[in-house]
């Protein structure tokens, strides 16, 4: 897959594999997010996303491993001004540049394009953390990943058991190891969109997770505790433990921006304290209710 983009002064031609290799860790793991023009505008979500890495604890070093997959040329142009590992993926017949409201036809196309892309990443032999750009990285999450588990996913609501696939899952943060089980599962997941044409990837996951074929594939699934991987659906209860905060259960760019700015404000105040404080609560969600 080669992209030629005249606005990219660093390189006239670079493959997706090369971008991934430039960003990977020693064990071939990359951090991937997707970006369109609406989220890439100045003072929009992409700026907050990058800022969270800069002010997080142990997250600055992770920025070099972040690959930003841009869904339109404007997003790629802005990304290239701010970050070294940007890739523009063209999708014929669809304009992904504007704000895509939840569950609209273009939103569904964008979500399934993401699943297709992540399948390719696995097939190329890379492990990945996929993160939505409306997730703030406040601490290095790698120590909180389960040592076992091919596929690990965050939750809107976590009920106490990381092995329980009936946790209310959220596909905005996933860690996946590249192996034959994960590749087969992602192919099945992508194919299943045809059986549920009006559902997005997360809802289709909930439809297929108990199917016999998933058991036959043998993929090991784990689900993250919202204490560490929180969000606006179920905010992490202890600021001393939180790794990421997601503007989930929130529809609308302006609402997300407002409340994620509050997250970063809370985080800066926490960092300014001379010692850890217990029972610290978040200022969010306010608009995202």
Domain locations in the chain? 16-272
Average pLDDT estimate for 189-206: 92
Confidence of residue 101 (pLDDT cuts 50, 70, 90): very low
Q: What is the pLDDT of residues 4-23, one digit of tens each?
A: 333 333 333 689 999 999 99
pLDDT above 70 for 2? no
CATH of domain 16-272: 3.90.550.10
The pLDDT of residue 121 is: 97
pTM across the whole model: 0.91
Radius of gyration of the chain measured on its C-alpha atoms: 18
Q: What's the rounded mean pLDDT across residues 94-114?
A: 60
What's the rounded Cα separation, in Å, for the pair 248 and 284?
Answer: 12
The predicted pLDDT at position 145 comes to 98
For residues 30-58, give the mean pLDDT: 96
Of 97 and 37, the one with more pLDDT: 37
Mean pLDDT for 193-212 is 92
């Amino acid at each position: 897959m080669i992209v030629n983009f005249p606005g990219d002064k660093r390189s006239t031609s670079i493959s997706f594999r090369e971008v991934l290799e430039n960003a990977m860790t020693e064990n071939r793991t990359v951090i991937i997010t997707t970006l369109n023009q609406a989220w890439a505008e100045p003072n929009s979500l992409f700026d907050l996303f990058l800022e969270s890495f800069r002010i997080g604890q142990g997250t600055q070093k992770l920025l070099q491993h972040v690959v930003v997959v841009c869904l339109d040329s404007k997003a790629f142009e802005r990304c290239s001004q701010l970050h070294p590992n940007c890739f523009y993926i063209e999708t014929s017949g669809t304009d992904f540049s504007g704000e895509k409201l939840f569950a609209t036809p273009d939103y569904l196309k964008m979500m399934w394009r993401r699943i297709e892309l992540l399948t390719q990443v696995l097939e190329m032999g890379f492990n990945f953390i996929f993160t939505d750009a409306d997730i703030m990285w406040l601490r290095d999450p790698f120590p909180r990943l389960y040592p076992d588990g091919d596929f690990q996913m965050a939750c809107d609501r976590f009920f106490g058991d990381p092995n329980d696939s009936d946790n209310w899952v959220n596909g905005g943060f996933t860690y996946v190891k590249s192996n034959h089980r994960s590749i087969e599962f992602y192919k099945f997941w992508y194919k299943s969109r045809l059986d549920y044409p009006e559902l997005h990837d997360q809802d289709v996951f909930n439809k297929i997770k108990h199917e016999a074929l998933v058991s036959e594939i043998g993929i090991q699934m784990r689900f993250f505790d919202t204490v560490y991987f929180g969000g606006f659906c179920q905010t992490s209860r202890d600021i001393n433990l939180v790794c990421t905060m997601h503007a989930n259960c929130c529809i609308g760019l302006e609402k997300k921006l407002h409340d994620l700015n509050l997250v970063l404000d809370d985080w800066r105040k926490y960092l300014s304290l001379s010692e850890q404080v217990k029972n610290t609560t978040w200022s969010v969600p306010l608009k995202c209710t």
